[in-house]
Amino acid sequence: MKLIDTHSHLYEPEFDDDCEAAVARAREAGVAALLLPAIDTASDRRLFDLCRSHPEYCFPMIGLHPTSVNDNPAWREELARVERYLLEPPAGIRFCAIGEIGLDYYWSDAFVAQQTEAFVAQLRLAARFDLPVAIHTRAAWDDMCRIIEAETERARADGRRLRGVFHAFSEGAAAFERLCGCGDFRFGIGGTVTFKKSGVAEIVRTMPLDRIVLETDCPYLTPAPYRGQRNESAYVRLICDKIAELKGLAAETVAAATTANAEALFGIRYTEKNTERR
C-alpha cells in the first residue's frame, strides 16, 4: 500500500527532537511522499532544509499563509518572495505547488482586504506558472467560493488553468458541489474525519473517490485514537482506513485512488526504488 500525505508541516519546531524518526515512521506506515506547504519567511529555511535532506521523499510548496498577512506590515514583501522563489528557486528546490494560501477570518476579520489581495495574487501566480494550489479556508467559505469561481474564469479566459486542493475541507454538500463546478479541484481529508462527531464524515460518504486526497496537517488535527497528542505523517494511514470504512471500500482501494489523485495533481510519480518529480 502506498499513501501520500499531501499536507505535512513536518519541518515545524514540534519535530525538532525527532524529525528523522518521524520521517522513518511515515515510511514504515506506507507513506511514499510528503508534500510540505510553506507558511512564511520565518519557516522557509526549515522547510527547504528538510526537502534537501530527503529530495526523493519531501516535496516543497511556496506561499504565504493568510494568518501571516494579519497585522504584518511587511506582508507585501512576504508576497513578493513567493514570486521571486518561483522565478529563481533556491538551490536543490523544485516547488510542486503554491501553498499554503487562502482566507482565514477565524482569528480576526480586520484583515479581509489584505488577505484577499494576497490570495488572489497567489492564485494568479499559480495560473501563470501552471502550478496547483493548496488552499486554506477557515470561517470564510462564502468569500472563498466567490473568489475561486471568478479566478477560475479569469484563468480560462487567459488560456490558463487553475487547479488544486481545498486543504482540511470541512463544509457540506452545497459548498462541495459549488467548488466541484470550478473544475480540477480535490478535497483534502484529514484527521477530523475520524472524530466521533465529525461533520465531514457525512460528506466523505458521498464524495467521489477521485475528488479526495489524504492529508494530516501535522502537527495539527491529530486523528483518533491519538487526538490531543502531536500529529505526524505516519497517521495518514488512520485517515485512509476511516475513509475506507465510511465508503465501504478496502483500504487498499482508497490508498490507490487517493495516491493516483495526488500524483496527477501535484506531478509526482514513483519507481520501485525512489520517488521523483515529473
Secondary structure (H, E, C), 68-100: HCCCCCCHHHHHHHHHHHHHCCCCCCCCCEEEE
User: What residues have CB less than 8 Å from 61, skipping those under 6 apart?
Assistant: 35, 36, 37, 38, 95, 96, 97, 98, 99, 100, 134
Q: Report the binding-site residues.
A: 7, 9, 100, 136, 167, 217
Mean pLDDT for the chain?
95
Q: Which helix (H) or strand (E) holds 187?
A: strand 185-189
Do 223 and 239 meet the contact criterion of CB atoms below 8 Å apart?
yes
pLDDT of residue 80: 98
Band of pLDDT at residue 155, cut at 50, 70 and 90: very high
According to the model, what pLDDT value does residue 183 have?
86
Output the known binding site for a divalent metal cation. 7, 9, 100, 136, 167, 217
Instruction: Check: pTM over 0.85? Answer yes or no.
Output: yes
Domains and CATH numbers, the chain: 3-266 (3.20.20.140)
Find out whether 258 and 33 touch, Cβ atoms under 8 Å: no
pLDDT (0 to 100) of residue 170: 87
Q: Confidence class of residue 253 from pLDDT cuts 50, 70 and 90?
A: very high
Say how far apart CA 253 and CA 242 lie, in whole Å: 12
Which pLDDT value is given to residue 274? 46
All three cell numbers of 18:
525527532
Convert the pLDDT of each residue in 107-149 to its tens digit. 999 999 999 999 999 999 999 999 999 999 999 999 999 999 9
In 3D, which of 84, 80, 160 has the Cα closest to residue 126?
160
pLDDT, tens digit, 9 for 90 and up, residues 40-52 = 999 999 999 999 9
Higher pLDDT, 277 or 64: 64
Answer left, alpha or beta for residue 15, where phi above 0 means left and psi between -120 and 50 means alpha.
alpha
CA–CA distance, 24 with 130 (Å, rounded to integer): 32
Reported as a single tens digit per residue, the pLDDT across 180-218 is 998 899 999 999 999 998 889 999 999 999 999 999 999
Quick count: other Cβ atoms within 10 Å of Cβ 244? 16
* pLDDT score recorded for residue 278: 43
How far apart are the C-alpha atoms of 92 and 73, rounded to whole Å?
30
Band of the pLDDT at 271, cuts 50, 70, 90? low
Least confidently predicted of 30-44, 65-79, 173-187, 224-238: 173-187
Contact, 243 vs 189, CB < 8 A? Answer: yes
Q: How many CB atoms lie within 10 A of CB 165?
A: 28
What's the rounded Cα separation, in Å, for the pair 50 and 69?
A: 25
Averaged over 46-74, what is the pLDDT?
A: 97
Alpha-carbon distance of 170 to 193, in angstroms, equals 9
pLDDT band of 270, cuts 50, 70, 90: low
pLDDT for the residue numbered 273: 47
